[in-house]
Each structure stands twice: as structure tokens, then as C-alpha cells.
Amino acid sequence: MTAPLLAVLDYGIGNLHSAHQSFNHVGADARLTADPALIADADAVVLPGVGHFGACMRALRASGLDDIAVAAAADDRPFIGICVGMQLLYEDSTEAPGVAGLGILPGTVDRIDTGGDASLVLPQMQWNELDLVGPGVDDPLLDGLEASWMYFVHSYAGPADPDLVTSTCAYGGAVTASVRRGSTWATQFHPEKSARAGLRLLANFVDLARDGVSPGVDDAVAATEASAS
């Protein structure tokens, strides 16, 4: 099998290295890059991010990769945002009022409401169990990952949009753990730090990068399940 080319967007913030190393571990040719030509040639695009929404967004704009990220998310190639890279896809975040996000997904990233449980501190810095919801049940990215455990480090999370949210985890209430819209995916957790379950998710993404995203894939899965039941 050929190794699909993954462009991991390098916009100059701290530790972006483990993402491309782990993609390579599951059969991708992942490159940490800021080169527009290489990003244009890639089979899929990865937007990582750690730390503060405002700092990441400013660094992304300063690098000039913000428009490239928006274009890559809009085309048919698989695109995935990870951790703060997921949060950047929204319109904005209460972590950095006045700083516009990429606006690829609707809504505002907000601080986690732990429901007054004093034993739950922020950040949520722990492993947590995925609950596949709504479109997540048929999502090829989450194939085989119902009730799997992933590593989270975050104080903020995306809105509970039932059309987009594919999995949640429990931290006080249900926290948005992953989303999908068309060929754009995002995970709040760190699959690259989530042992075998995380590597499975990354391998699922590499499969999508290799095979392309069929617009009819959801319909086909739904039809198969309907005929089976």
C-alpha cells in the first residue's frame, strides 16, 4: 500500500511533533510543513494545536496558513483538527474574546461546565471514555472506537451541536469530544497520545486519506445497516 501524504501544518507553536510521528507510525508519509506547494499536493491535511486559543490563532494568522487551512477544509480532501486545532475551526472562543477563529464550524468554544463537581478540576487532564453519538455511530474515523479511552488535556470545548458532534465524554456533563462535517473531522482529545485506541483512529484517518472520502459513504453505511435490520 502506498503511504498517503499528510501535511501537518507547522505554524511555529510549541510541541507539534508527536502528531506527525504517530501518523507515520500507522503508515502515512506525514510531513510537518508550512510549504503551500506541499500542502496543496497532500492527500490530507492536519491542523494540530496546543496551549491557548488566542496564541495559536495569532500564530496561525502570522504564518499565513490560516487561509490555506480554510481552503483545505473546504475541499474534498480529508482534514482533521486536533485539540486546540479543533477549537480553531470554530468562529471564536471565550478563552480569547475578540480573536476570530477560522469559522469553518459554527459556534463558540466555551469553558467546560463541570456542573459544580468539586472533584473535577480544569483542565480536564486525563483519559476519558468516548460515547459515540448521532453521526458518530457511522463515522469511518471512529470505526471500532465505541467506548474507547482517549487522552484529553483541555479547559474549553466546542458546542453541543447535534448535527456535528460524533462523540462526547463525561466531565460533569457531556463534553464535545469529536465532530465531523463532510470531509472535515476534529478531535478534542489527542489521538497521537492515546495508545492503541488513538493509533486506531489515526489509522482510520490514513485510510480516508488513501481512499478519499466518498460523498455517498454515509448513505452506503446506512443502507447496509437498514438491510441488515
Decide the pairing of beta strands 79-82 and 184-187.
parallel
Check residue 199 for interaction with other proteins (CB under 8 A): yes
Q: Is 146 in the site for other proteins (CB under 8 A)?
A: no
Please indicate whether residue 192 is annotated as part of the active site: yes
Contact 56, 31 (CB under 8 A): no
Query: For residue 39, what are the CA distances in angstroms to 34, 97, 136?
Result: 8, 30, 28
The active-site residue out of 83, 95, 154, 169 is 83
Per-residue x/- track, 159-178, other proteins (CB under 8 A): -----------xxx------
Separation between Cα atoms, residue 229 and residue 222, nearest integer Å: 11
Residue 22 binding other proteins, by CB under 8 A: yes
Shortest reach from residue 56's CB to other proteins, in Å? 9
Instruction: Please tell me whether residue 150 adopts helix, strand or coil conformation.
Output: strand
Interaction between residue 25 and other proteins (CB under 8 A): yes
Compare residues 59 and 165 and give the one whose CB is closer to other proteins: 59
Element (H, E) at 60: helix 53-63
What's the CA gap between 112 and 175, in Å, rounded?
Answer: 7
Binding site for other proteins (CB under 8 A): 14-15, 17-18, 21-22, 25, 50-52, 55, 115, 117, 119-123, 125-129, 149, 151, 153, 170-172, 190, 192-196, 198-199
- Which amino acids are annotated catalytic? 83, 190, 192
